[in-house]
Amino acid sequence: MTAYDDLMAFQRDTEALSQVAGRLGWDQETMMAEGSAPQRAEEHAAMASVLHARRIDPRVGDWLDKATATDPVSAANLRHIQRNYDRTMKVPADLAAEIAKTTSLAHRIWAQSRSDDDVASYLPVLEKVVGLRQQEANALAAGGDRYDALLNNYEPGATGAEIAAMFAALRPGLVDLRAAILDQPKPQTLTGIFDEAAQLALSTKLALAFGYDLNKGRIDKAVHPFSSGSGIDVRITTRTNPSDPFNCFYSTIHEVGHAAYEQNISADYLLTPLGGGVSMGVHESQSRIYENQIGRSRAFTGWLYGQMRDAFGDFGIADEDAFYACVNRVSDGFIRTEADEVQYNLHVLMRFDMERALIAGDLKVTDLEAAWNDRFAADFGYAVDKPSNGVLQDVHWSEGLMGYFPTYSLGNVYAGCLNVAMRNDVPDLDSDLERGDTSQATTWLRENVQTHGGLYEPREVITKAARVEPSEAPLMSYLTTKFSDIYQL
Amino acid sequence: MTAYDDLMAFQRDTEALSQVAGRLGWDQETMMAEGSAPQRAEEHAAMASVLHARRIDPRVGDWLDKATATDPVSAANLRHIQRNYDRTMKVPADLAAEIAKTTSLAHRIWAQSRSDDDVASYLPVLEKVVGLRQQEANALAAGGDRYDALLNNYEPGATGAEIAAMFAALRPGLVDLRAAILDQPKPQTLTGIFDEAAQLALSTKLALAFGYDLNKGRIDKAVHPFSSGSGIDVRITTRTNPSDPFNCFYSTIHEVGHAAYEQNISADYLLTPLGGGVSMGVHESQSRIYENQIGRSRAFTGWLYGQMRDAFGDFGIADEDAFYACVNRVSDGFIRTEADEVQYNLHVLMRFDMERALIAGDLKVTDLEAAWNDRFAADFGYAVDKPSNGVLQDVHWSEGLMGYFPTYSLGNVYAGCLNVAMRNDVPDLDSDLERGDTSQATTWLRENVQTHGGLYEPREVITKAARVEPSEAPLMSYLTTKFSDIYQL
């Protein structure tokens, strides 16, 4: 056994334990009875403690010192383990514990504040969270950029400056496109009630159509849809709303995008550092291209229209064109998670700018609500009516997830780049999608992105697949073309 | 922090991790997709390795040396931890690993041999399992009785000699009762098909009627019903058979007995060594008294008859008396798990005698099938027709679970003792059961047995509750009275 072999054997158990810990989270959201929560909290804490002890195990440092890479796979494994080890060791244990304690408290206070529409009761604990994350960022950055240090928790190698440049280039086009769309007559909306069992049956059909493998996962209902797990046990959840079946269908397709990424990583990487999605941004590129560029395309929605007619009879939409417009309807609204393809990124862009300023110390927590409301009015053209529709709407900051928001739009940017290359390589894709056959698209994504897992760095895997350096231009072009067509701009 | 506090804090995390490991097993039997099995095996192994490392952690030995009990609860905690630590430390690590490897292999070979009805292909690996368990027993017994050392894995404090005396006293009465019953005309059996959804709805109603708390657990389907977990997350499974709803209903009641024991242990003992059922025998006493002495009583079956009429309409049984006889029907059969209250114990008694002789070295594995067939013919009056109906029917020995079988009948013996005391303390119980109200019975069992968890030793908790030293006589008397009435002996 070489040092590398020892390290990988140790790491394999850590990865397996990490899957177990993740499964507890899945269970809590789908299966566990509410009364079991106090015991589950102790189970979570015990697993977290076991995992933390393994992550700071001094043998890992020793093995890393002695291990040598012999090929690109072992080099990538060592790169991941070294990076995670360095990051873990840089953060003092008492600071990590304080962050865990404070974010847990902040999450509870946030939920109450949002429910009460009371920003003031939330700000003191948010200020504490920001302060602790700044301390963590100082420890991680070692003189470098604080925000980048946090961003790299979710998007290794990315920088705030690079993302800011992309987002700044995207913003005017999105603001203009949104304004032009909202000047036009609105497409139809769905009316009526859609049977839940029929929604779930079609949801499963959609999951299978997008290549989700039910022999290595399962689909359940949850309040907030998510994908959970890596390797050969990757589970998704969806939800239903009697008057909005699109919520169910597009939640499912989105989560299948995440899950397919995990299911399609090379089996050689099972339970190794390469065996999971490489970053949140690349993950989101998969969920978004499944959901939007494929799932909300004219061709695929044509097939979906027929499926919905079969499942629900005449549901008040006259033809495929009206259905396509209905699926892609752009409406005023305050809430990021309910936003359409055009407005979604505007929500993310403002959060990115604000959290970056918070961490840099350029924006005070006490000024956050005013900054939010000003920016919202500037980009969306009307005023936030209440904090729960504004600065209190998202869970992320209460949980200390600064650096996470930009990965949503980075995923959209990446999806835009991938879509150009995929359409170029599969010119007849639409004729498949019209029949509900996504296999050429999902195969392309599997072979060009998903199979690699953590072998390449995030930006690298997108660059290889898209065959250009990623930029925001393809996304803007895609959105402009698509919505100009739908709204006859 | 005293040494006792340190030990208990460490132990609490171990208990929490043990619950997590158990939940993986539940998930595998109820939720996991088949294709996920290879990854799950690694997850199980990683959890087992973490738990083993904690069980042999030298700090546990140090804390045990220094810790002192200050009250009955701390004394019981230390007793449990010391006993488990001593047992774990006595078995050499390489022997434990060899047993794990060999029983895993033996289980697979057994399944194939049973499917092929081929004893010869199973015997070599069974011989190896017996040899390894003998070695383990030698290490544990340190000169004492080998079988007792294994028995105490499942029933601390019990001895093979004491159980042999009880079982020997039980056997002639059971053989005679069985023969007398089978000379009489047989009661009706169920005919027809019983809707699965209606079976499951009534199954849930039965679980709730027996006090199962769905806010601290859940009910799912599984191939083999089981109860899983301790504390405030205790889940049960059941199964359905279209032509045999009793299979579903009495599996549910049986598992609710196990689960209620776990759910009803004093909340003070959560995630401590006292927070789980104290032994397999006491556990089985709860499942059996729920299932048989309560669930198959004339009074309760009267209520169940009405429930089944409501659920399924006229299902061909004329009245409550005929239904009572139908529920308690005694028929010829080879299989332990399908046996009625009278014959079940005869199955267990023969297995106990045989495994005790195997471990003592008085019975060779090569003579096992002949011994089985002779004993079966003597007790049941007809010959085994094929090995899958004989020596190959049970999974236990292939998994190395020697010492486990007697706890089934010990549970019945204990249930017999508890039933006398319960009926004495709750003289009007039948008038409640006739209305489907088990609360006086389940309250009595909770207060006298279940709440104590591991506070007392197994035999002690039964003796306190029954107010007599346990013996087989109450069970034999209960069976004779009940079945003499049904069969007019």
- Specify the pLDDT at position A1: 85
What number of other Cβ atoms are within 10 A of residue B79's Cβ? Answer: 17
Contacts of A152 (CB under 8 A, 6+ apart): A87, A140, A158, A403
What number of other Cβ atoms are within 10 A of residue A111's Cβ? Answer: 14
- Specify the pLDDT at position B401: 97
Question: Which residues of B are less than 8 Å from A43 in CB distance?
Answer: 16-17, 19-20, 23
């087992």: which residue's tokens?
B48
A27 touching chain B per CB within 8 A: yes
pLDDT tens across the length of chain A (489 residues): 899 999 999 999 999 999 999 999 999 999 999 999 999 999 999 999 999 999 999 999 999 999 999 999 999 999 999 999 999 999 999 999 999 999 999 999 999 999 999 999 999 999 999 999 999 999 999 899 999 999 999 999 999 999 999 999 999 999 999 999 999 999 999 999 999 999 999 999 999 999 999 999 999 999 999 999 999 999 999 999 999 999 999 999 999 999 999 999 999 999 999 999 999 999 999 999 999 999 999 999 999 999 999 999 999 999 999 999 999 999 999 999 999 999 999 999 999 999 999 999 999 999 999 999 999 999 999 999 999 999 999 999 999 999 999 999 999 999 999 999 999 999 999 999 999 999 999 999 999 999 999 999 999 999 999 999 999 999 999 999 999 999 999
> What is the average per-residue pLDDT within B328-335?
96
Query: Using one digit for the tens of pLDDT, what is the confidence trace for B266-321?
Result: 999 999 999 999 999 999 999 999 999 999 999 999 999 999 999 999 999 999 99
ipTM (interface pTM): 0.94
Burial of A307 (0-12, 13-18, 19+ CB in 10 A): middle
Q: How far is B15 from chain A (nearest CA, A)?
A: 9
Q: pLDDT band for position B142 (50/70/90)? A: confident
CA torsion, points A199, A200, A205, A206, in degrees to nearest 10? 70
Judged against a pLDDT cut of 90, whether residue B101 lies above it is answered with yes
Burial of B94 (0-12, 13-18, 19+ CB in 10 A): exposed
Judged against a pLDDT cut of 90, whether residue B20 lies above it is answered with yes
Query: Using one digit for the tens of pLDDT, what is the confidence trace for B364-388?
Result: 999 999 999 999 999 999 999 999 9
Give one DSSP letter per residue of A427-456, joined into a string: TTHHHHHTTT--HHHHHHHHHHTGGGTTSS
Cross-chain residue pair A33–B218, CB shorter than 8 Å: yes
Q: How far is CA A458 from CA A137, A156, A441, A452, in A?
A: 21, 7, 20, 10
Please give the Cα distance from B466 to B248 (Å, whole number): 30
Exposure b/e, A73-89, CB count within 10 A at least 16 = b = bbebbbbbbbebbebee
Give one DSSP letter per residue of B140-182, joined into a string: HHTTS-HHHHHHTTTSTT--HHHHHHHHHHHHHHHHHHHHHHH
CA torsion, points B192, B328, B204, B238, in degrees to nearest 10? -80
Please give the Cα distance from B453 to B270 (Å, whole number): 10
Nearest to A205 by CA among A436, A461, A473: A436
Interface of A with B in 228-287 (CB under 8 A): 231-233, 270-271
Cross-chain residue pair B217–A33, CB shorter than 8 Å: yes
Nearest residue in chain A measured CA to CA from B54: A50
Q: How far is CA A353 from CA A88, A152, A214, A220, A411, in A?
A: 27, 16, 40, 36, 17
Nearest residue in chain B measured CA to CA from A233: B36
B263, two tokens: 């759910």
Question: Which residues of A are less than 8 Å from B272 in CB distance?
Answer: none
**Nearest residue, CB atoms, B20 vs list A43, A216, A233:** A43
- Specify the pLDDT at position A142: 85
Please give the Cα distance from B86 to B56 (Å, whole number): 9
Best A11, A12, A15, A17 member to test B by mutation, with max B CBs in 10 Å, is A17
**Nearest residue, CB atoms, A270 vs list B19, B39, B231:** B39
Judged against a pLDDT cut of 90, whether residue B465 lies above it is answered with yes
**Nearest residue, CB atoms, B50 vs list A50, A216, A233:** A50
A32 touching chain B per CB within 8 A: yes
- Specify the pLDDT at position B124: 97
Cross-chain residue pair B39–A232, CB shorter than 8 Å: yes
Nearest to B28 by CA among A242, A233, A121: A233
> What is the average per-residue pLDDT within B436-444?
98
Please give the Cα distance from A379 to A461 (Å, whole number): 32
């058979």: which residue's tokens?
B241
Q: pLDDT band for position B71 (50/70/90)? A: very high
Please give the Cα distance from A481 to A477 (Å, whole number): 6
Among left, alpha and beta (phi > 0; psi -120 to 50; other), residue A188 is beta
Cross-chain residue pair A216–B47, CB shorter than 8 Å: no
A364 touching chain B per CB within 8 A: no
- Specify the pLDDT at position A341: 97
Give one DSSP letter per residue of B324-346, joined into a string: HHHHT-----S-GGG--HHHHHH
Please give the Cα distance from B272 to B16 (Å, whole number): 9
Cross-chain residue pair A31–B36, CB shorter than 8 Å: no
Side chain identity, residue B220: D
Question: Which residues of A are less than 8 Å from B35 in CB distance?
Answer: 213, 215-216, 232
């939940």: which residue's tokens?
B23
SS3 B219: strand
Domains of chain A plus CATH, in order, are 3-144 (no CATH), 145-489 (1.10.1370.30)
Judge whether A84 and A55 are in contact, CB under 8 Å: yes
- Specify the pLDDT at position A298: 98
Sheet of strand B219-221, all strands in order from the earlier edge strand to the far edge: B219-221, B235-238, B227-228
Best A24, A26, A29, A36 member to test B by mutation, with max B CBs in 10 Å, is A36
> In terms of pTM, does the model score above 0.80?
yes
Please give the Cα distance from A194 to A373 (Å, whole number): 36
SS3 B437: coil
Segment B38-41 long-range contacts (CB within 8 Å, at least 24 positions apart):
B38/A232, B39/A16, B39/A19, B39/A231, B39/A232, B39/A233, B39/A270, B39/A271, B40/A233
Nearest to A351 by CA among A335, A366, A327: A335
- Specify the pLDDT at position A379: 97
Q: How far is B52 from chain A (nearest CA, A)?
A: 13
